[in-house]
Structure 1
Amino acid sequence: MALIILAHPNFKNSAANKTIIEELKNSRLQIEIRNIHELYPDYKIDIKAEQDALLRHKTVIFQYPVYWYNMPAILKQWFDLVFEYQFAYGSKGDKLKDKNFIPSFTVGAPEDEYNTLGNHHFRVYEFCKNLEQTAYYAQMKYIDPIYFHGTSLEAGYTTDDVKNKAIDQAERLLKRLSELEEML
C-alpha cells in the first residue's frame, strides 16, 4: 500500500493533479491519499497523524504542481514539521529508513524552456536536488521523479491535452508502484 501526500492549493480546479489522483483512486492498487490542503487549510499540521500515516506505508508519493521552481508552501511546511529530529533523522531518527520516496509533480511550462538556453535555465531534475537530499538524510530510497510539462492553460494547452498527459503520468506511477510492490 502506498501513501500519497497531495499538496495542491487549488485542487478542485486542477486539471492535471486532479486527473492523476482520480486515475490512482480508480486503480487496483491500495493507496491512502492525504490531501494536506484539505486537512490543514490553516497550515496547522497534525504531526503525529502524518507520522503515523508514513509509518503505515512502504512507499510515499509526493504529488504536487511546481510553483516557482519548488513545491507549494504547505508541502514545505509539512516536511519542516513531520520530518522532525529523532523521527526522520538523528541518532534514533530511523523511522523512514528504507521507505520509497517518489516525487510526482506537474510543470506548467513546456519542456523546451527547461534547459540552459531556455527561460528557466535549468533542467527540471536540477530543481529536485533538495528532495533527493531529504530522502537520503531520512535514509529513504529516492526514486527518480515522475512528472510532465505543459499544464498551463494560459500557455495554450487544452484541458484535454493536460488530462491526457495526466493519465499517462498516473499510468507511469502505477507501473512504478507495481514494480516496487513486486520487489517486496
Structure 2
Amino acid sequence: MTLVILAHPDFSRSVANKAVIGHLQNSGLDIEIRDLTALYPDYRIDSAAEQQALLRHRTIVFQYPLYWYNMPAILKQYFDCVLTYGFAYGTGGDKLKGKNFVPSITIGAPEQDYRADGEAHFRVYEFCKNLEQTAYYTQMNYIDPFYFHGTSPALYSTDEIKNRAETCAEGLVTLLLRLER
C-alpha cells in the first residue's frame, strides 16, 4: 500500500500536480493521499496522525512542486514535526526502516534551465540532496525522484502540462507496482 504526501500550497489551482494525483487515483493502486495544505492550513501538523499514516504504508511518495529550488514550506514543516527522535531516528527511531521514500516533483521551468550552464546552474538531483539525506538518516530506501519540467501555466498550455504529467505519472505507477510486490 502506498501513501502519497501531497504538499501543494494551492492544489485547487494546480494543473500538473492535480493531473499526477488524478492519474494515481485512477491507477487501481491501493493508495492513501494526505493533502497537507487541506489537513493543516494553519501548519499545525498532527504528528501522531501522520506517524500512524507512515506506519500503515511500505512506500511513501512525496508529491510537490519545486518552489525556489526547494520543497514548499508545508512539507518542510511536515518533516520537522513528524520525523522525530525516537520515531524516525535516534534511540528506538527505526519505525521507517526499510520503507521506500519516493520524491515526485513538478518543475515549472524548462529542462535546459537545470544544467550547469542553465539559469538554475544545478541539476534537479542536486536540489534533492536534502531529501536523499533525510531518507538515509531515517533508514528509508531512497528512490531517485520522478520529475518533469514545463509545468508553469505562464509558459505552457494546460494541455501540454497535462500530457507531461500523465507521462510522468504512468512511470510513477509502474515504479509503485514494482515496489509493492
SS of equivalent to 2:77: helix
1:93-127: per-residue Cα shift (whole Å, max 9, x none)? 00000000000010000000111111110001100
| Correspondence 1:20-169 to 2 at 5 A | 20-155=20-155, 157-169=156-168
TM-score (norm 1): 0.97
| Amino acid in the other structure paired with 2:103 | P
1:49-75: per-residue Cα shift (whole Å, max 9, x none)? 000000000000000000000000000
Counterpart position of 2:19: 19
Distance 1:177 1:113 in 2: 29
Percent same amino acid among aligned pairs? 65
Contact 2:59 2:180 in 1 (8 A): no
Counterpart position of 2:172: 173
Contact 2:105 2:146 in 1 (8 A): yes
| Amino acid in the other structure paired with 1:60 | I
SS of equivalent to 2:8: coil
SS of equivalent to 1:153: coil
Distance 2:153 2:75 in 1: 24
TM-score (norm 2): 0.99
Distance 1:112 1:124 in 2: 11
How far off its partner does 1:153 sit?
A: 1.7
Distance 1:124 1:95 in 2: 29
- Runs of 4 or more above 6 Å deviation: none
Distance 1:153 1:47 in 2: 34
Distance 2:4 2:153 in 1: 25
| Amino acid in the other structure paired with 1:6 | L
SS of equivalent to 1:154: coil
**Number of residue pairs aligned between Structure 1 and Structure 2:** 181
Contact 2:16 2:151 in 1 (8 A): yes
Distance 2:9 2:44 in 1: 15
Contact 2:105 2:147 in 1 (8 A): yes
Distance 1:153 1:7 in 2: 19
How far off its partner does 1:44 sit?
A: 0.4
Task: In structure 2, list runs of 5 or more residues that go unmatched.
Answer: none
How far off its partner does 1:129 sit?
A: 0.2
| Amino acid in the other structure paired with 1:100 | N
Task: In structure 1, list runs of 5 or more residues that go unmatched.
Answer: none
| Amino acid in the other structure paired with 2:180 | E
